[in-house]
Amino acid sequence: MWQFFHKLGSPKWFYGIAGRFMPWLLGLGLVLSLAGIVWGLAFAPQDYLQGNSYRIIFIHVPTAFLAQSVYMMMAVAGVITLVWKMKLADVFVRAAAPVGAILTVLALFTGAVWGKPTWGTWWIWDARLTSMLILLFLYLGIIGLSHAYSDEKTAARAVAVLTVVGVVNIPIIKYSVNWWNTLHQPATFKLTEKPTMVPEMWVPLLLAVLGTYLLFGWVSLYRMQTEVLRRERRTRWVKDVIAAGGGSQLKSGGA
């Protein structure tokens, strides 16, 4: 366990192991998410209430799900940065924050477009959409703060504090927004509430969720590798990788 932890501290080890995982993540992720999406778009039965517009669920739920869990992962990484000062945790936060923000934008956009045929308006101050909007603000704050500092170490620790403070607030925000929502529009038809989802609907949804998770894994590892290359550019092994064109795989001879 501790050996694994120490190995994680070695950027070169990380680079190699990430390179070994990435093709699998990309391949499986593409297959699963495309299978889920094609199944959901063309083969899943129609929803008796919402008609075909519910087919947006196969990208709305994965992006919304992922956007929230990416924030949680960043908060965990933030704790690791603060407590163990592990550099890779901060590399992850830097790599993941823009991806998380884009996922949040996607979840908001698909939610809004879904709202048009369902509620008749593009935007509704529904509890889920509003929470997602606040999550987007949190992401933007993190990205803004991480770019505001010129010193990398300071930025890492400041961002870690901010993500941890944010994650403490997320349950409070969720609770308050839900409460506010019931206060203002009592119990309307909820977007993603699915009391009776047949397997033909939720299996492709599950595939799409799994697939996007794997794809996120791939893109974040790729971005982490880039950040590692940038930070460790003075070391010998990075110079070798750069000279070889900066590919994601470490040559077995160099490892």
Partner 1 sequence: MAFDSFSAFIIMEGHGPYVWTCYGVFFLLMALITWLSVRDRRRVVRTQQREQTVASPGQTDTVRNERTGGGFQRIPTSQSESISKS
Partner 2 sequence: MGQQQSLSITVLDPVTTSPGLFQSMVAVLQRDLRLSIRQKQDLLNPLLFFVMVVALFPLGVSPESEFLKEAGAGILWVGALLATLLSLDHLFRFDYEDGTLEQMALQPQPLFVLVLAKTLAHWLATGLPLVILTPMLGMMLFLDGNSVAILCLTLLIGTPVLSLIGSVGAALTVGLRAGGVLLSLLVIPLYIPVLIFGTGTVMAAAGGSDVSGHLALMAAMLMLAVILAPLAAAAALKISLSAS
**Interface residues with partner 1 (CB under 8 A)?**
37, 41-46, 51-53, 55-56, 59-60, 63, 98-99, 102, 105-106, 109-110, 113-114, 116-117, 215, 219, 222-223, 225-226, 229-230, 233, 236-240, 242-243, 245-246, 254
Q: Does 175 interact with partner 2 (rule: CB under 8 A)?
A: yes
Beta-bridge partners for 47: 51
The closest alpha carbon to 159, from 144, 174, 173, belongs to 144
Stretch that binds partner 2, among 70-78, 115-123, 172-180, 193-201 (CB under 8 A): 172-180
CA–CA dist 180, 177 (Å, integer)? 5
How many CB atoms within 10 Å of residue 105?
15
CA–CA dist 207, 213 (Å, integer)? 10
Report residue 51: phi and psi, to 5°: 70, -140
Looking at beta carbons only, is 41 or 82 nearer to partner 2? 82
Beta-bridge partners for 51: 47
Report residue 47: phi and psi, to 5°: -80, 130
Looking at beta carbons only, is 82 or 113 nearer to partner 1? 113
Q: Does 11 interact with partner 2 (rule: CB under 8 A)?
A: no
Name the site residues for partner 2 (rule: CB under 8 A): 82, 134, 137-138, 140-141, 144-145, 148-149, 151, 154, 157-158, 161-162, 164-166, 168-169, 172-173, 175-177, 179-180, 183
